[in-house]
Amino acid sequence: MQIAVMQIDVARLIANGQPITLFGDNLFVELDLRTSNLPAGTRVKIGDALLDITPHPHNGCRKFQSRFGPEALRFVAGKELRSRNLRGIYMRVVQPGVVRAGDSIRVLSRPHA
């Protein structure tokens, strides 16, 4: 659980005009973070860095609730939407590298079913 990642459109919706830095995540991306698209073990390249998707859940916490409200926490943590990873995912650094704003994200491999 080295890098916390969240979809930028979801962050903007929840932040409702507040700075997205309030989330505390490391990266905000334009990428489908659903489990069906990025299952644990998927390897991605962002900039020069290689990263693996971890199986660790990225759930909202008390800080998230205090910043954005109980409705926002229910929205991202609800069982019916959990597979969409609205709160985000965690990635593990496999190979460090430079990552810059605007770098593309390439899925290199997904685990076999």
Q: Which residues contact 30 (CB under 8 A, 6 or more apart)?
A: 7, 8, 9
Per-residue tens of pLDDT for the chain, all 113 residues: 589 999 999 999 999 899 988 888 899 999 999 999 999 999 999 999 999 999 998 887 788 888 899 999 999 988 888 899 999 999 999 999 999 999 999 999 999 75
Question: What is the structure's pLDDT at 50?
Answer: 97
Task: Delineate the domains of the chain, giving CATH numbers in brackets.
Answer: 3-97 (2.40.33.20)
Residue 113 is predicted with a pLDDT of: 58
What count of other Cβ atoms lies within 10 Å of the Cβ of residue 56? 12
pLDDT for the residue numbered 1:
56
